[in-house]
């Protein structure tokens, strides 16, 4: 199915994953409405398409009629809105991961949207964190309101603007030791942001026939590498050339530390994130995966060299192996 000359709304299109989704849609000739709380945040996406092809769309998520306007006239909708921590009355997991997707799904149904793709998170069906529980409840609410929605559950996502590898690489510049929360045994299956966007495109493009019909399915998205937290640090040190001693920190101690860190303007760690580290985020053996969407998973080692070397002492062009503490 060709997407050319279609209209799509991307909620959270200004974010890390949403940006890639918008770019891929624009490449395919789709007119994209980037639903955002602050339209100026979406201006940088305009050059992704021809003049007038990528349009920021101010959306008030507390107002159902504003959501209805955002999806009105669209053939496709992709929801990439999400948060990693709670703050205040409005930034709550239930509100953003459960209630909002439900209202978007209802609006899509009412507006006759052809396909709806919702980004959830890997491990949400087994996780004990509030984040995971709110994501699972969101999936259920979406599928109840819009039966043929496609749900994508990525593991931790990597790419030049990711929060995960960049945060730890940044931390390694300033702290003398790094914590191995829960012993560092939690396993991840990092997936490339470009592959997540390709999976979203496949969910929109694949024919609604037979085995390739993505509608109503849940896909678990992981890359080719499964690594423990400890192995991820080792890979990071490899590229940043800033090895740091790793100190085992039991979950209970990490929660105490996280209790204080959660009050930073952008928390480095929250107690709920510690809770989520108790569960592996790897693709299940029976799950539908990137392969079922026709996407070849990209290896960490082919992308990390693009951005982690800039954390070396002396920067990207600093001597490999040169050590420094700042
Ligand atoms: N990144 C990962 O490693 C990862 C892994 C698994 C699952 N996911 C899921 O994938 C989705 C996208 O993740 P991402 O990394 O791209 O997130 P992101 O970069 O933080 O972007 C999320 C977008 O959501 C909107 N948003 C943020 N806070 C909001 C709030 N309080 N109310 C309403 N909208 C808000 C923002 O758009 P505006 O500011 O423009 O409104 C933002 O651009 C999320 O559902 C996330 O849970 C991500």
Q: 């030049």: which residue's tokens?
A: 160
Distance CA 157, CA 154 (A): 7
* Average pLDDT, rounded, for the chain: 94
Nearest CA to ligand 1 atom 21: 15
Domain boundaries, the chain: 7-157+191-222+283-297
- The pLDDT value recorded for residue 3 is 87
Secondary structure, 3-state, 204-225: HHCCCCHHHCCCCCEEEECCCC
Q: 């070397």: which residue's tokens?
A: 309
- Confidence at 31, pLDDT banded by 50, 70, 90: very high
- The pLDDT value recorded for residue 326 is 31
Nearest CA to ligand 1 atom 26: 81
Nearest CA to ligand 1 atom 40: 36
Which of 11, 12, 191 should be mutated for ligand 1, with most atoms under 8 A from CB?
Answer: 12
The pLDDT of residue 153 is above 60: yes
Rounded to the nearest angstrom, the distance between the alpha carbon of 83 and the centre of ligand 1 is 5
Which of 23, 80, 161 should be mutated for ligand 1, with most atoms under 8 A from CB?
Answer: 80
First to last CA, the chain: 52
Ligand 1 atom having least distance to the Cα of 100 = 33
Look at the domain 7-157+191-222+283-297 and name its fold.
Rossmann fold (3.40.50)
Higher-pLDDT residue of 48, 322: 48
Per cent of the chain over pLDDT 70 is 98
Rounded to the nearest angstrom, the distance between the alpha carbon of 178 and the centre of ligand 1 is 26
Rounded to the nearest angstrom, the distance between the alpha carbon of 196 and the centre of ligand 1 is 14
- What's the pLDDT tens digit per position in 167-193? 999 988 888 999 999 999 999 999 999
- Confidence at 323, pLDDT banded by 50, 70, 90: very low
- What's the pLDDT tens digit per position in 81-124? 999 999 988 899 999 999 999 999 999 999 999 999 999 999 99
Ligand 1 atom having least distance to the Cα of 81 = 24
Q: What global pTM score does this model have?
A: 0.96
Q: Which residues pair with 139 in a beta bridge?
A: none
Q: 């390709």: which residue's tokens?
A: 198
3-state secondary structure at position 48: helix
Give the DSSP H or E segment for 271.
helix 271-276
- Confidence at 324, pLDDT banded by 50, 70, 90: very low
- The pLDDT value recorded for residue 314 is 80
The pLDDT of residue 253 is above 50: yes
The pLDDT of residue 313 is above 90: no
Residues touching ligand 1 (Cβ under 6 Å) are 12, 14-18, 36-38, 41, 61, 80-83, 91, 96, 119, 121, 154, 156-157, 164
Rounded to the nearest angstrom, the distance between the alpha carbon of 314 and the centre of ligand 1 is 32
Half-sphere exposure of 187 (CA within 13 A, CB side): 10
């Amino acid at each position: 199915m060709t997407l050319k000359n279609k209209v799509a709304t991307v909620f959270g299109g200004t974010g890390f994953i949403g940006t890639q989704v918008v770019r891929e849609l624009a490449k395919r000739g789709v007119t994209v409405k980037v639903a955002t709380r602050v339209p100026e945040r979406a201006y940088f996406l305009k050059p992704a398409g021809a003049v007038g092809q990528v349009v920021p769309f101010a959306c008030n998520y507390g107002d159902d009629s504003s959501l209805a306007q955002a999806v009105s006239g669209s053939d496709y909708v992709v929801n990439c809105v999400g948060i990693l921590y709670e703050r205040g009355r409005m930034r709550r997991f239930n509100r953003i991961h459960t209630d909002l997707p439900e209202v978007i799904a209802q609006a899509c149904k009412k507006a006759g949207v052809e396909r709806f793709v919702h980004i959830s998170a890997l491990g949400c069906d087994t996780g004990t964190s509030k984040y995971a529980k709110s994501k699972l409840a969101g999936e259920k609410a979406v599928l109840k309101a819009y039966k043929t929605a496609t749900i994508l559950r990525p593991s931790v996502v990597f790419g030049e603007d990711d929060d995960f590898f960049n945060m730890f690489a940044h931390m390694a510049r300033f702290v003398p030791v790094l914590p191995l929360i829960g012993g560092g045994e939690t396993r991840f299956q990092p997936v490339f942001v470009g592959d997540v966007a390709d999976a979203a495109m496949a969910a929109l493009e694949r024919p609604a026939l037979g085995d390739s019909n993505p509608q109503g399915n849940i896909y678990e998205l992981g890359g080719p590498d499964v690594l423990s937290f400890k192995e991820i640090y080792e890979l990071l040190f490899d590229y940043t050339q800033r090895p740091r001693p790793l100190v085992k920190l039991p979950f209970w101690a990490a929660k105490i530390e996280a209790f204080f860190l959660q009050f930073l303007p952008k928390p480095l760690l929250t107690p709920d994130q510690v809770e989520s580290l108790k569960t592996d985020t790897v693709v299940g053996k029976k799950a539908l995966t990137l392969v079922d969407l026709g996407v070849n998973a990209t290896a960490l080692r082919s992308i990390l060299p693009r951005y982690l070397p800039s954390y070396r002492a002396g920067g990207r062009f600093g001597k490999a192996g040169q050590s420094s503490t700042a």
